[in-house]
Amino acid sequence: MASMPDSLDFPFHATGEYNVYPSRLYASSYSIIYLQPKIGDVCPYAPETIDVTKLEHPLLTVVVPGAFTPTCTENHIPPYLTTTAIDSLQNAGVKTVLILSVDSPFITRAWGDDLTRDKPEVLKYVQEGYIKFVSDAGAQWLSEVGLNSNSTDKQGKVTYVGTDLKRGSVEKSGIEAVLSALKK
């Protein structure tokens, strides 16, 4: 068996409105299989553009600085991905939950798949579109609105903004703070 190189370079190409830049895949003790696509192959996943004005409101947008980051993966998002939290959000009137990452749509999708893999009771909400893992690659939208975590009412007006400035904190953007704000 041939040994793996220290790293593999491979290009991603811009798709739709998303700019995906060349990345570097680092080999480690894990096995990495890189399959070269052939002309005519169907891409198993292509990102789509979401128009937030057409989503059902009230809308909750939970923004994370990056998929697979320790705080976001272990402390911030998992509490949103419980049936108790989903029931509470629905009871508070939230019609759509967006979990927004500044990573590429492919990384964001993989992260969403990873977070819901062993949670069939939550995965159904993702499949139905109640919870959406979305990408703001390059943080264009975030730059325009300057939000970390927010909730909008039926008219699309922002009703809560929870920004955590302390590293690792989810005090203002976590599920408890959001549910508390929705009750007011």
Q: How many C-beta atoms lie closer than 10 Å to residue 114's C-beta? A: 12
- pLDDT (tens digit, 0 to 9) for every residue of the chain, 184 residues total? 333 333 333 333 333 333 333 333 333 323 334 445 566 666 655 567 777 778 888 888 898 888 999 998 999 999 999 999 999 999 999 999 999 898 888 899 999 999 999 999 999 999 999 999 998 887 777 777 665 445 555 666 777 788 887 888 888 888 888 888 888 7
**Amino acid identity for residue 102 in this structure:** V
Tell whether 101 is covered by a domain: yes
What does the pLDDT read at residue 184?
A: 76
Does 72 qualify as catalytic in the annotation? yes
What does the pLDDT read at residue 146?
A: 61
Task: Give the structural domain span for 150.
Answer: 52-183
What does the pLDDT read at residue 91?
A: 95
Distance between CA atoms of residues 164 and 175, nearest Å: 13
Distance between CA atoms of residues 11 and 75, nearest Å: 32
Given the residues 60, 62, 63, 72, the one annotated as active site: 72
Tell whether 1 is covered by a domain: no
Tell whether 12 is covered by a domain: no
Q: What is the count of structural domains for the chain?
A: 1
Q: How many C-beta atoms lie closer than 10 Å to residue 44's C-beta? A: 5
Domain containing 93 — which CATH number?
3.40.30.10
What does the pLDDT read at residue 151?
A: 54
What does the pLDDT read at residue 153?
A: 58
Tell whether 34 is covered by a domain: no
Tell whether 135 is covered by a domain: yes
Tell whether 96 is covered by a domain: yes
Lookup result for tokens 């009871």: 91
